[in-house]
Each structure stands twice: as structure tokens, then as C-alpha cells.
């Protein structure tokens, strides 16, 4: 089993509520604040992007489903701040700080003048790493969708694709391996591939025999298929 | 190391239920602790509310339509091309551009969260992050696209790109008919956000005032 966020292919959801392109970027002011405070807190360097994703996935299924998008961000941020000792549970409950943060952490505060360069720099995930075992055109099988390293742990292999045959489309070189990095176990770079799957293999009633789904798969997700 | 015992120990439960108050509480605490600069928050918001958005992706598409060498380089390896244009950055560190043809239509999703090419398209719209889109577009893309008003012919196969790593995707839509000789600025006016996600087509030439 995976977690509630892993919803690709799920049945039962209604029509997409399409908002026009002219809709404001942030529907409410607090959406914008939620995004900004999450980015600014991330800049303190106390957790990785992978850990941040996993903290949203670790929301209880009930919270994940009842929270709107940015409510998930805020809840996950609060959880990470406490888990990493940046903010205490007392401070959260009181809504105010009990003490200043340690000097070395305050030194990492993202200043307004540093925002633009930091956003332009981003956080590239490409790393030196092992040479790829597979090449474009190779047939592979995706391993069973399950948590790779840790029960309930983070993985980027969606459940709908687990166990399916696929063809390697592109190799992107080695990238940080989220299944390890999300848990503080190191970046452990792995070759990253785009693989393509036939809709007819994935779904009982595919819409069209030639339709396809691609996903980006780390090498530990793949085994050779002769 | 984080284990699933955190599953039963959610600190966020002590925050007030109203989301605007929750955000306010976190912002207040972090500011008081000296960890967040309110002016930096304003700068981040201004960036994504006003400066970075689909107009950036539209410039790339328009240039690809106008310049075959640029188009070839972009499809081969978008990274250096976008770097040169100053269009890489957070949530767009690694980008692949995929081209629509009469034989194949491409559409982008992130079924696991909300991965989206921020430096090219800005912050994703609500529908892109919705359960309905994430759950359904991989299994029934044609029905989902029809909800956007996009009906695909049977001759066109659909390839759905699920963004499951740090690679971000941009669709290069087909150039609308009747735009021969248009310059890049005029072509860019035809490019919609949804056409670059694959849930729409660009505007037709007669939908914008002629150059």
C-alpha cells in the first residue's frame, strides 16, 4: 500500500473545475502568505524538498482529503518546524515565540534582497552518480509500488504503475534519490529515466489503443525485461 | 530518521482551525524568532503574483515557432536554451519540452503532488492541483480534456506526462494556421497557459487582432 496522495488512476472523482486563465494567481491573500512562508522557512536549510513533500504525504488521510491545497502546505510546515526543533509545540499553541532562535539559524534567514537570486538559482537535483544501466528503447518492468526503504516512507513511483512493463524513453543522468533523501539518509544519487507505458496495459478500459503515460523513474524502480 | 510514528503526532493540530489564522500564527512566530523577514515574504509573493507567469513560457513557444534552429535545440535539451533566456530556477531546474504533432497530443500532470514548471508558467492553477485532475487525467485524458473544451481526433494519440521527479515539462503546441510571417511578439499573444500544459490549444489567428 502507498498513501492517500498517490491518487493517479483512482475512480470516483467528478469533473475538473476549470477556472479561467484570467483567475488571480492567489485566490486568497493567505494562499500567497502560505506559499511565501513555506519557501522562506525552507530556505533555513533544516529539511530537503523531498522531506517537505513527504511531510504533506504524512498528513492523516482524513486531513489530506479535507484540507485545501495550501492548508496541506501549512499543516505540513507546522509539523516540520516542530519535528526539526525550529519551533516548539508551546509556541505553536500560543501563536507567539517564547525565545529567539539560535544565532546560527537566524544567520540563515532569507533576506528580501536574496529572494530573487535564490529563486533563480533553485535547487538542481542532478548529481554525479552511477552510470545508467538502461538505454532508450530498453524494455523494463517497474517494481511493485511499495515503500522502498522504510515502511510508510517516501517514494516517487505511483501505485498505478507498479509492476507494469515500460520502455525507456530518455535518460537524464543521476539525480538525488527522493526515497533516501526524504528520510535524511543521504542524497544517494541514482540514474533517472523517463519511461513510457501503454494505456492499454495500465487500464481495463483504455480510451484509445495508442494512448500512453510516461513517468520519471529512478533506476531502483526498474528491472530489465528481456 | 523519520518513521511513521509521526503519523500519530501531528503538531499542526494545536494551531487554530481557520487557515488564514494558521498562516498568520506561523508567520508571526517565525518572524519573532528572527527566522523570517516579512519583506522577503512580500518579495516572494510579488514575484509569483506579478513577475513570473505563463508569459515566460509563451516567449519560449513563440520563438520555437519562429526559429527552427531554436526549436530543434529546445526539443533536444531545453536546459541550456532556457538558461540562456534566464528562465530556469526554482521548480524549473530541469525542463523537458515536448512537441504536439498531428499524430500526438501531450498533456502534463503530477499525480503525486503538484509539480509544474514555475519559471515558465508560474504557480499552478487550482485545477492542476485538484484531486479530479490528478486522479483522472492519467486514466481518461480524453474525457478530462473534453471538460476543458478540447476534443481530440481519433488520429491523435495522447501521451500523458506524469511529473514524478525533478524534471518539469512544457508542451510546445502546434502553431496556429494563418500566422505565416508573424513576429515572435505577435505569436506569443496566441499562446495560452493551458496550451503549454496540454489542456488547451493556442488561440486561432483570428482570435487576436492581426499584427
pLDDT digits 0-9 by tens, B65-93: 999 999 999 999 999 999 999 999 999 99
Is residue A92 situated within a structural domain? yes
Q: What angle do CA A52, A54, A55 make, to 5 degrees?
A: 65
Q: Distance between CA B200 and CA B179 in Å, rounded?
A: 18
Name the grid cell of A5: 496522495
| Signed CA dihedral, B111, A151, A165, A188: sign only | positive
Q: Which CATH architecture has domain B52-207?
A: Alpha-Beta Complex (3.90)
Q: Where are the beta strands (DSSP E) in chain B?
A: 94-99, 104-109, 157-162, 167-172
Q: Distance between CA B36 and CA B8 in Å, rounded?
A: 28
Pick B136's closest partner by Cβ from A13, A96, A97.
A13
Q: Which of B33, B28, B36 is nearest to A101 (CA)?
A: B33
Q: Distance between CA B197 and CA B127 in Å, rounded?
A: 12
CATH number at A74 reads 1.10.472.20
Contact B24, A97 (CB under 8 A): no
Q: Distance between CA B160 and CA B133 in Å, rounded?
A: 12
Is residue A41 situated within a structural domain? yes
Q: Return the H-helix or E-strand segment holding A198.
A: strand A190-198
More confident residue, B208 or A38: A38
Tell whether the model's pLDDT for residue B7 goes beyond 70.
no
Is residue A87 situated within a structural domain? yes
Pick A122's closest partner by Cβ from B15, B89, B164.
B89
Q: Distance between CA A196 and CA B138 in Å, rounded?
A: 12
| Residues A99 and A39 placed together within one structural domain of the fold | yes
Mean pLDDT of B179-203: 97
Is residue A113 situated within a structural domain? yes
Alpha-carbon gap: A120 to the closest alpha carbon of chain B (Å) = 4
| Residues A194 and A153 placed together within one structural domain of the fold | yes
List, for chain A, all residue ranges whose pLDDT scores fall below the cut of 50: none
Alpha-carbon gap: A219 to the closest alpha carbon of chain B (Å) = 12
Which positions of B are catalytic?
A: 110, 113-115
- Asked if B132 lies within 8 A of A89 by C-beta distance, the reply is no
Q: Distance between CA A39 and CA A153 in Å, rounded?
A: 23
Domain residue limits, chain B = 17-50, 52-207
| Residues A153 and A115 placed together within one structural domain of the fold | no
Alpha carbons within 13 angstroms on the beta-carbon side of residue B205 total 12
Contact A208, A121 (CB under 8 A): no
Sheet-wide strand order for B157-162:
A222-224, A139-142, A165-175, A190-198, A212-218, B157-162, B104-109
CB contacts, 8 Å: B193 with chain A: 21
CB contacts, 8 Å: B25 with chain A: 92, 95
Hey, is B92 helix, strand or coil? strand
Mean pLDDT of B39-60: 98
Domains in chain A, number: 2
Pick A82's closest partner by Cβ from B11, B86, B163.
B11
ipTM of the prediction: 0.97
Is residue A23 situated within a structural domain? no
Per-residue pLDDT tens over the stretch B166-186: 999 999 999 999 999 999 999
What is the domain extent for residue A106?
29-121
Q: What is the pLDDT of residue A148?
A: 61
Q: Distance between CA B138 and CA B46 in Å, rounded?
A: 33
Hey, is A216 helix, strand or coil? strand
| Residues A33 and A110 placed together within one structural domain of the fold | yes
- Asked if B159 lies within 8 A of A183 by C-beta distance, the reply is no
Q: Which of B28, B87, B83 is nearest to B58 (CA)?
A: B87
Q: Return the H-helix or E-strand segment holding A166.
A: strand A165-175
Domain termination residue (choose one: A77, A94, A121): A121
Is residue A20 situated within a structural domain? no
Is residue A196 situated within a structural domain? yes
CB contacts, 8 Å: A60 with chain B: 7, 10
Name the grid cell of B209: 487582432
Alpha-carbon gap: A132 to the closest alpha carbon of chain B (Å) = 16
Contact B114, B130 (CB under 8 A): no
Is residue A91 situated within a structural domain? yes
Q: Distance between CA B53 and CA B43 in Å, rounded?
A: 15
Contact A86, A101 (CB under 8 A): yes
Report the residue of chain A nearest B18, measured CA to CA: A71
Tell whether the model's pLDDT for residue B3 goes beyond 60.
no
- Residue B1: pLDDT band (50, 70, 90) is very low
Please list the residues that pair with A217 across neighbouring strands. A193
Q: What is the pLDDT of residue B210?
A: 72
Q: Distance between CA B162 and CA B107 in Å, rounded?
A: 9
Amino acid at each position: 500500500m502507498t498513501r492517500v496522495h498517490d491518487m493517479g488512476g483512482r475512480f470516483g472523482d467528478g469533473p475538473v473545475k476549470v477556472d479561467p486563465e484570467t483567475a488571480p494567481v492567489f485566490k486568497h491573500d493567505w494562499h500567497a502568505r502560505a506559499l511565501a512562508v513555506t519557501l522562506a522557512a525552507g530556505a533555513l536549510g533544516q529539511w530537503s524538498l523531498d522531506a517537505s513533500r513527504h511531510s504533506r504525504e504524512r498528513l492523516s488521510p482524513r486531513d489530506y482529503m479535507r484540507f485545501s491545497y495550501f492548508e496541506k502546505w501549512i499543516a505540513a510546515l507546522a509539523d516540520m518546524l516542530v519535528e526539526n526543533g525550529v519551533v516548539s509545540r508551546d509556541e505553536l499553541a500560543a501563536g507567539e515565540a517564547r525565545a529567539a532562535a539560535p544565532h546560527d539559524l537566524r544567520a540563515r534567514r532569507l533576506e528580501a534582497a536574496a529572494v530573487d537570486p535564490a529563486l533563480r538559482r533553485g535547487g538542481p537535483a542532478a548529481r554525479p552518480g552511477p552510470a545508467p544501466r538502461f538505454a532508450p528503447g530498453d524494455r523494463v518492468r517497474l517494481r511493485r509500488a511499495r515503500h522502498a526503504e522504510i515502511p510508510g516512507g517516501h517514494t516517487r513511483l505511483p501505485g498505478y504503475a507498479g509492476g507494469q512493463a515500460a520502455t525507456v524513453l530518455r535518460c537524464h543522468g543521476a539525480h538525488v534519490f527522493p526515497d533516501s533523501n526524504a528520510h535524511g539518509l543521504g542524497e544517494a544519487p541514482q540514474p533517472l529515466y523517463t519511461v513510457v507505458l501503454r494505456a492499454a496495459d495500465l487500464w481495463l478500459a483504455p480510451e484509445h489503443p495508442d494512448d500512453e503515460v510516461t513517468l520519471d523513474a529512478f533506476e531502483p524502480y526498474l528491472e530489465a525485461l528481456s | 530518521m523519520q518513521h511513521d510514528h509521526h503519523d500519530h503526532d501531528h503538531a499542526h493540530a494545536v494551531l487554530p482551525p481557520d487557515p488564514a489564522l494558521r498562516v498568520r500564527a506561523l508567520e508571526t512566530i517565525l518572524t519573532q524568532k528572527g527566522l523570517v523577514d516579512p519583506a522577503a515574504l512580500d518579495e516572494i509573493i510579488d514575484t509569483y503574483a506579478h513577475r513570473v507567469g505563463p508569459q515566460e513560457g509563451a516567449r519560449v513557444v513563440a520563438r520555437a515557432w519562429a526559429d527552427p534552429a531554436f526549436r530543434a535545440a529546445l526539443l533536444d535539451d531545453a536546459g541550456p536554451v532556457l538558461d540562456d533566456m534566464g528562465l530556469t530556477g526554482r521548480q524549473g531546474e530541469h525542463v523537458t519540452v515536448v512537441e504536439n504533432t498531428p499524430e500526438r497530443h501531450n498533456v502534463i500532470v503530477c499525480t503525486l503532488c503538484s509539480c509544474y514548471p514555475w519559471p515558465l508558467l508560474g504557480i499552478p492553477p487550482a485545477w492542476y492541483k485538484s484531486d479530479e485532475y490528478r486522479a483522472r487525467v492519467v486514466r481518461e485524458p480524453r474525457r478530462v480534456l473534453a471538460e476543458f473544451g478540447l476534443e481530440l481526433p481519433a488520429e491523435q494519440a495522447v501521451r500523458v506526462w506524469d511529473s514524478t521527479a525533478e524534471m518539469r515539462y512544457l508542451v510546445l503546441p502546434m502553431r496556429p494556421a494563418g500566422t505565416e510571417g508573424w513576429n515572435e511578439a505577435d505569436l506569443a499573444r496566441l499562446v495560452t497557459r493551458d496550451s503549454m500544459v496540454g489542456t488547451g490549444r493556442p488561440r486561432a489567428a483570428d482570435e487576436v487582432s492581426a499584427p
